[in-house]
A and B are shown apart, each in its own frame.
Chain A
Amino acid sequence: MARLTPNPDARGELFSAYLDGELSPDEVALVVAAIDGDEAAVEEFRALQAVRRTVRMLPSLEVPDALLPDGHLGALLSAYLDGELTVFEHKRVTGHLVACTECRSELHELDRARIAVRSLPGAEPTTQTEVAAVPRDRRWRRVVAGGLAAAAAVTVFVVLAGGGGEQPVLVLEDLANRHAARASAEPGFAVQPTGLEVSSP
């Protein structure tokens, strides 16, 4: 693997771009090569990480609403759903969505519209394996009775038996994946360091 040019400025820029998620695969390979076994490069990488930590602790600088069309995300939402945003735009959009109910609602509507379009005839069916969340083959129970009172009883029984209507579908793997995705949104929370003695297990 090619070694990185030992130009501190160029290396720093490359590290910075890596931390910002802006590198191509070939450039990532350069970063990997630079870090592997090169203590000076490791130190430089760490120093840059420390700077980023410090920056993270600074008060957030909100993008002025004046820079957004009508103070909202507008067309950026479609690009967001289509995965077409740059890293910077992605952060800006997610930051705005946290605070803006109107844009979140619009994002919901756009997402629903996309799903509706995909469900039109001709759209590819999902390949995900689904498992019915309620007992399959639940059958209508037949009740033979005469008279108005019996008919009412039949109605209640059918309702209680869950007949009619679409049954909910749950896929446990899907739920676990959703949890993993949400959990990965936060790198972690602060825990205060102390000098307590460790109680070994």
Chain B
Amino acid sequence: MRRLYNVAGLVLLISASAIGPAHAEDLGDYLADADDAIYSGRRFVGTTWDGIVSSEIVEVQHHGGMSMVGSGPTSATVGEGRWHRDDTDEEGFSYVGQSVPAPTDRYTLVPGGPAEHLGRPSHVLDVLERGVLRMRLVVDDSTSAPVLTEVYTADGSVFRSTSMIEFSVSVDAGMAGERDRAYRMLVPLNETDFPAVAAGYRLIDAYEAPEGSSQAFYSDGLFTFSLFATSGNVDWMDVAGDIHTYAAGGRAYFRAVRPATVWILWNAPGRALALVGDLPPDHLEAVLAELPPPGAENWMQRLWHRIFG
């Protein structure tokens, strides 16, 4: 497979878009049922944004609320707030969620008709935002596994597509037995200066992140993003390869398009910010408009931060 961030992003997409059997009553039920599903196979995932295309085909196994994405030395396992690489004994991450997300009225769920995917009986589920189709899912009847997912932009074009291209109701015994691991626990901070709401995305909780940075986790009930902030400014071209300039709201950012996620990178006065998430472009632009704008520090601010942090 690919780079590990792609793995993680893919699993994020899976967790954000999975649904379950037809008689579940809301998206939360579908998601919960999909967590219980047992399946494996190969999955195509690709994102298209302003002509930038990023796609990949990955192996996936899902069992017990955990997804192992990739194979051999490059696989990673994600689920239940945890993440770890499979090829090392390094600690993984394990998040302790703080807030219980409230139901959202931003989206409505419309059960569609029966369908078939890879010869298996399935059904369609549409997620609407103010009456406009935002996501279409095809769910395997037998396992509750999401076998096809499409996310649409505001103008109705496909932004991201995820599709099982091979599907089996089985998992490797090694995957099934993956339980005992050492994890670095991440406990929510009691206070944070991140905005409580950004364009309909609510701040769910915030955590310490590496090297004195911090992470804020946001969700609108369907899509999610994390905002990482570290003090000082960062030369993003030096840190990240394969990034492009991006203008939103008259402001200049860097962006990186990955198969299942997008990254937006910029420097604001006093800190560097990185947004990682699966939200579509119109949502992203609205969110960025409510976050600290790009801008360089003046010499007084730089002096202040160097001295006092």
Give the B-binding residues of A (Cβ under 8 A): 18-19, 21, 23-26, 28-29, 31-32, 35-36, 42, 46, 49-50, 52-53, 56, 80-84, 94, 97-98, 101, 104, 107-108, 111, 126-128, 131-136, 156, 159-160, 162, 168-201
Contacts and interface: CB of A to CB of B under 8 A. Distances in A.
Nearest to B210: A174
A86 B176 CA distance: 16
A87 B101 CA distance: 22
B307 to A, nearest CB: 6
Given A170-B230, A170-B234, A172-B263, A25 B212 contact: no
Interface string B265-298: 0000000101011000000000000000000000
Given A53-B32, A178-B83, A199-B132, A127 B90 contact: yes
Given A36-B169, A180-B11, A189-B101, A25 B177 contact: yes
Nearest to A170: B239
Given A135-B238, A198-B126, 11 more contacts: A132-B239, A133-B239, A162-B232, A168-B211, A177-B83, A179-B277, A180-B78, A181-B93, A187-B28, A191-B109, A192-B105
Nearest to A36: B169
B5 interface: yes
Contact of B157 (A46, A50, A201): A201
Contact of B64 (A18, A53, A98, A186): A18
A195 B27 CA distance: 14
B152 interface: yes
Contacts of B64: 18, 21, 28
Given A183-B224, A198-B110, A188 B28 contact: yes
Contacts of B238: 131-132, 134-136
Interface stretch (B42-50, B179-187, B244-252): B179-187
Interface of B: 3-5, 7-9, 11-12, 15-16, 18, 20-21, 23-36, 38, 63-65, 67, 76, 78-83, 88, 90, 92-98, 101-112, 126-128, 131-133, 142-144, 152, 156-158, 169-171, 173-174, 176-177, 179-188, 190, 204, 207, 209-213, 215, 217, 219, 221-222, 224-226, 228, 230-235, 238-240, 256, 258, 261, 263, 272, 274, 276-277, 299, 302-303, 306-307
A88 B109 CA distance: 32
B209 A175 contact: yes
Nearest to A21: B64
Given A108-B187, A188-B27, A83 B182 contact: yes
A56 B177 CA distance: 26
B176 A29 contact: yes
Contacts, number: 311
Nearest to B25: A193
A200 B307 CA distance: 56
Given A97-B96, A156-B303, A175-B274, A189 B28 contact: yes
A184 B83 contact: yes
B210 A169 contact: yes
Contacts of B88: 127
Contact of A191 (B7, B26, B38, B143): B26
A192 B78 contact: no
Contacts of A18: 36, 64
Nearest to B141: A42
A20 to B, nearest CB: 9
